[in-house]
Structure 1
Amino acid sequence: MSVFVSCGEASGDRYLGDLAFRLSRRGFRLWGMGGPRCREAGVETRWDMGELQVMGFTEALGALGRLIRLRDRIALEVARANPSCVVLTDSPDFHLPLARRIRREGYRGPMVSLVPPAVWAWRSGRVRHLRELFDLCLPLFPFEHRFLQDHRCRSAFVGHPLLDRISQAELDPSCRTVAFMPGSRGGEVRRHLPPFARAAELLKGEGYRPVFSVASSLGEDVARWMGDLLGPLGVEVSREDGVSLLARSVGAVMASGTVSLEAMLVGRPGVVAYRTSWLSMALARLLVRSPHCALPNILLGRELYPELLQGAVRGDLLGRRILGVLRQVEDPEGLRGWLSAFREGRTLLGRAGALDLWEEVVSEMASR
């Protein structure tokens, strides 16, 4: 039995790869689009997820023709192969049209939305497409699960999958290592690295040791560019797993994304930054209902991690903000506040067992 799977970015590759590893052990043949984690899990990646890595609304418009042709090729291939199940992960601006196209090509098998679009936060009209196209949604957050059920989508949830693999690490306020996580996509890194590098210089002047993470999803050209820019500053660049880097750090400067949730679960304070095109940000501010950008802040309903967006993503401001956070950690009362928020956030994410649930429900659907 074969299962078609697809993801388009680093976090989706990690979630789908974890599921794919378990499905492979059950004897399913997996093929489709993915990244390094999916390949390690045994997925035959006929398309690389790098083809989807465009950043923001305006960047996606420039790649629209290419993405439509890619969608049509994949849909035809799925319809011809008629797999036992289809699992589409995150990247909704590509995967929702792909799901509709697959259905139009005649595929009638079960279809799963793993990490469905954030319809609870913006463009809620997409919930109708989830209800019509997918047999099951597997969301990451409890409020997503409730929203989907309230809108008559089939949804299953026990907790966030990061709870299965990330434990809180002891925080040593005397540690001087600070993790810098500029993003998992080339466009993100190119926008964030110059101000992040300036902030790192400021931290070095205060006696801290900045270490920059190179995400596994980044190409060698981006990694070389990072080294060329950071090398003359005497700043370390690391290809180690991001969670491991967070665990050996006292805090982090992060691009907005899954990494902020990982930082919360590891138990590391920090600052979240994000810069995109002005039009992309204007559209986001018009359409997004949440007042927060960082996932822990959305989860908690308040700002735990300071957020710097667009023009505020400057090296001097980033440096001052992260220094302020690190000073909080050095104060026992400030440290207790962060640790209390970390515990609250972990509780709000549900309980461990998401991967067990995903494995069971997808295996059952693919075996019908």
Structure 2
Amino acid sequence: MSQQNTLSARLRTLIDTVQQNERALQRFQQIEVRLISADDFPSFLDALVSDLARAFELSVVTLWLDERAPHVGELLHAEPGHVLDARHLRGGRAEALGKDLPWPPRARRAPWLGQPAELAPPLRAAFFDPADEPQSVAVLAIEGGEGVCGYLCMGSADPGRFAAGMATDLLQRFAIFVSAGLVNVAHRERLRQEGVTDPLTGLPNRRYFDARLHEEVQRAARIGAPSACLFIDIDSFKHINDTFGHGVGDRALIAVAACIRRSVRLGETVARYGGEEFVALVQGDTQQALVVAERVRAAVEALTVLDDTAEPLKLTVSIGVAAQVMKPDGPPACDVASALIEAADAAMYRAKRAGRNRVECEVASESGKT
């Protein structure tokens, strides 16, 4: 009888284990569908972090990416505000982790399970925010087509949740789907960026800026805030191309683009509008926008760009500024956006006529006329 009870208990335990695995597999599969079908990186990260933590009652989920991994590393530099809390997305250079990783060199990277204290301090600092450090962790290597491109770190407040010797079949299977989804979304993001990015300067292009300006006008109108636009044109650029050649002209464009980007605040939009024209969308009223414009003008004037004979090339810009306080009951956003960019363009031409290398201001009217 005792032997029969023992066998029955073992059978019940086995059945319970199978049922638990089936439920875990179903939860994993639901998340895997979201990962594979994610249209963009924020959606992918939301499924990975939020859904995974909720489905398995995890205290923290962190995705660490190698910033040098082809395509995948670019996801670390997604647009500000478009990804989750930085505590859940971390990154760096894989070679800095090499000697501290818990796997032997060239070994098959099965999920590593244990307590954070068993990891080398640099790994703990790389994978987890000190305020979020869990009691036990599972670390999954994520393949990116050319080797490991990152690590998924799952943490629990239960010290016994993840321990060496536990079965990792489901985790290994899940790591494959994470890898496939990550590579997929990285390529989608790359294609999206290529569609709205100027290939020479790396800045957003006119298409992106027009859409972003429309969004900003709508946002500012909801709260009655001002928005400002800077229209920036390189002075005598045709003369530069005709005299020194298009190679030097391209160097000048790249240098000015980088200079403008450095001169505005983080999160403000700078784009190449066409030819030698650039635009910047800044938050603030007319006076604040004029301060930014003057900072851009002075920074470009101080640039050192060499021609093909290593002689310094003199570069200056003329800048037009237009600003307007947006109103919730104002004209349609598309009309206001058009008026703002037209007013800044008109001010830029006035700066040209006044002698170049200067800043001029224009007031954009609500009716769409200047």
TM over 0.5: no
Question: Greater helix share, 1 or 2?
Answer: 1
TM score, norm. by length of structure 2: 0.24
TM score, norm. by length of structure 1: 0.24
- Kindly name which structure, 1 or 2, has the bigger radius of gyration based on alpha carbons: 2
Question: Greater strand share, 1 or 2?
Answer: 2
